Amino acid sequence: MARHVQVLLRENVEKLGKIGEVVRVRPGFARNFLLPRRLAVSATADNVRRIGKEKGKRAVEDAARLEAVRALAARIAAAAVNIEAKVGEEGRLYGSVGTAQLAAAFAALGLPVEEKQIRLEHPIKERGVFPIRVHLHPEVEVETKVWVVEEKGTAPAPAPEA
């Protein structure tokens, strides 16, 4: 049985290649993933010609999409993202701030950022200012700052006097 097969990519596939490239992959990967999802076709001369024509049309669409992503990146870089969280002793949070809370904070500002686009090295577990990266496109990654502040009204109530 063949160890590798050649396929022609119809879509950009992260960590594999771009539209119109002929790549060598394992037969199972082609059969079970690329071909059923219509991400690739077999690498015949006819398919290469057809994909070449489609590639020209997509180049214009991709350029417009890239400009929109760059505009979004500029808005994200300029945004002031504040996350309120319950804070305990020594500025440590009860729990942590993860990508779900960050995505919700971006959405509240009108910025469409998905959880999977946010790159955190580890969840945020204390209050302060933290840099985070947002991966919007293979060519566009933006860094912004997030302020984690104490939730209003979380100060302990004074002990009742006897």
- 91-139 pLDDT tens trace: 788 888 999 999 999 999 999 999 999 998 888 999 899 999 999 988 8
Structural domain of 39: 5-67
Task: State how many domains the chain has.
Answer: 2
Q: What is the CATH number of the domain that holds 92?
A: 3.10.430.100
pLDDT of residue 50: 84
Same domain, 133 and 83: yes
Q: Is the pLDDT of residue 7 over 90?
A: yes
The two beta strands, 128-137 and 124-126, are unpaired
Residue 159, in any domain of the structure? no
pLDDT of residue 10: 87
Same domain, 109 and 129: yes
Q: Is the pLDDT of residue 11 over 90?
A: no
Full strand arrangement of the beta sheet holding 40-42: 22-25, 5-9, 40-42
The whole-model pTM stands at 0.64
Same domain, 145 and 125: yes
**Which residue has 């577990």 as its token pair?**
125
Q: pLDDT by residue (tens digit) across 25-83?
A: 999 999 999 999 999 998 888 888 888 777 777 788 888 889 999 999 999 999 889 99
pLDDT of residue 6: 92
Q: What is the CATH number of the domain that holds 29?
A: 3.40.5.10
**Which residue has 């015949």 as its token pair?**
44
Same domain, 44 and 84: no
pLDDT of residue 1: 58
- Which of 67, 83, 100 is the last residue in one of the domains? 67
pLDDT of residue 161: 61
Same domain, 116 and 62: no
- List, in sequence order, every residue forming a beta bridge with 147; answer none if it has no partner: 82, 129
pLDDT of residue 152: 79
Question: Cα 3 vs. chain centroid, distance in angstroms?
Answer: 33
